[in-house]
Chain A
């Protein structure tokens, strides 16, 4: 069974541009979580989607947004990129009430 897959693996953007990151959850999982991990830091919660709806968001500006599609895959959009948005973006999936969230390999976003 396929795990959580994220694309692209690496992404280089220029300041001010937009970035789109994608996540495919484990089959049957309805919840998708997005986290930002800046260099040397822990995981900061960004967004939680479940059953197609945004359920919660972390303390990030509105230029961080996303959506969840009917097949439960998800997209994270970051508008007006800033240098400090450079980070590893991790996606995790689970059943809403399941014990464990499983992670993808991450997308490393570099803003230059």
Chain B
């Protein structure tokens, strides 16, 4: 069974609008971390934002915020005020610690295209 599910293969958004990328996860470990990475066409994986399972508040990093709903096992990425440079693949990932294997596991990704 997949541990990370990203149900949106592709998303389109108008420049300057906000967009939400969905991610659900599956774990029985009480301690885990959730991440989002951006992968532009160059291939590098760029770390965007982190949310720990015990964090009380949703994580924010500039224009990125993570909408963490623990009971629903959901960790959606919200990008506010989209820019043309945001066009890329976005991957949700999870790391189960300390009872897990520490190996980050990834979803299949969502392709985001920002239109001018």
Contacts and interface: CB of A to CB of B under 8 A. Distances in A.
Interface in B63-116: 91, 95, 97-98, 101-109
B95 A106 contact: no
Nearest to B97: A97
Contact of B102 (A97, A102, A108): A97
Scoring A33, A101, A102 by chain B CB atoms within 10 A of each residue's CB, the highest score goes to A101
Interface residues of B, number: 24
Given A37-B43, A48-B101, A97-B102, 8 more contacts: A33-B104, A42-B91, A97-B97, A99-B33, A99-B52, A100-B50, A101-B104, A103-B37
A31 B43 CA distance: 21
Contacts of B46: 103
Nearest to B46: A103
B53 to A, nearest CB: 11
Interface of A: 31, 33, 35, 37, 41-43, 45, 48, 50, 55-56, 88, 90, 92, 96-97, 99-106, 108
Cβ-closest 8 pairs across A and B: A103-B45, A42-B108, A43-B106, A105-B44, A106-B43, A101-B104, A99-B33, A88-B43
B25 interface: no
